């Protein structure tokens, strides 16, 4: 009987050690290997200066890019299997922040009514009067704004509400 208790005790100790090893291995894999793998892939995208991976978000410091929509879609493709929130850090001036704020009404209207051509015309004219380069991109899920003035730049990626309306290519 003592031998059976001793064997059962040793079995429980080894099972506990094995379980601890498995949990530790999973923690290491998730926090070091997966994070490094994402960082390597993300840093290959043109315009990305640095990547910081948190528990629930990925903060990406950007440089000037020619098309924020393409860059964002590449980022989204790499991390689509995980449930991370993407935070884009840009380099805006106060003027760019003000133009982005002034654009919000037109953007919200366009997302509600679908008048994206009018929105683009309005925002580009407003920005052009202030000497700001502007690019606006739209897909079925998001609106992408890209403002640039001298060495400062600002990116905004806004999720479109699910309107239920069909779009081209869907």
Same domain, 141 and 99: yes
Cβ neighbours, 10 Å, residue 165: 8
Q: Residues 77, 83, 88, CA angle at the centre, nearest 5°?
A: 65
- Averaged pLDDT of the chain: 84
Q: Is residue 168 part of a domain?
A: no
Per the structure, how many domains does the chain have? 2
Q: CA-based Rg of the chain, rounded to a whole angstrom?
A: 24
What are the tens digits of pLDDT across the range 73-131?
Answer: 999 998 877 788 899 999 999 999 999 999 999 999 999 999 999 999 999 999 999 99
User: Rounded to an integer, what is the distance from CA 92 to the centroid of its chain?
Assistant: 18
Domain that holds residue 150: 94-159
* Boundary (domain end) residue, out of 89, 117, 151: 89
Percent of the chain with pLDDT over 90: 57
pTM: predicted TM-score of the whole model, two decimal places: 0.73
């Amino acid at each position: 009987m003592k031998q059976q208790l001793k064997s059962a005790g040793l079995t429980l100790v080894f099972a506990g050690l094995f379980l601890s090893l498995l949990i530790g291995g999973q923690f290491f894999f998730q926090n070091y290997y997966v994070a490094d793998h994402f960082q390597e892939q993300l840093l290959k995208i043109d315009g990305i200066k640095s990547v910081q991976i948190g528990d629930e978000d990925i903060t990406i410091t950007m440089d000037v890019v020619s098309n924020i929509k393409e860059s964002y879609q590449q980022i989204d493709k790499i991390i689509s299997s995980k449930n991370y929130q993407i935070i884009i850090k840009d380099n805006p001036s106060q003027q760019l922040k003000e133009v982005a704020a002034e654009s919000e009404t037109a953007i919200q209207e366009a997302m509600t009514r679908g008048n994206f051509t009018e929105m683009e015309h309005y925002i580009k004219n407003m920005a052009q009067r202030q000497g700001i380069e502007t690019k606006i991109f739209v897909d079925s899920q998001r609106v992408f704004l890209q403002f640039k003035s001298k060495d400062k730049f600002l990116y905004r990626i806004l999720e479109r509400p699910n309107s239920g309306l069909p779009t081209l290519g869907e």
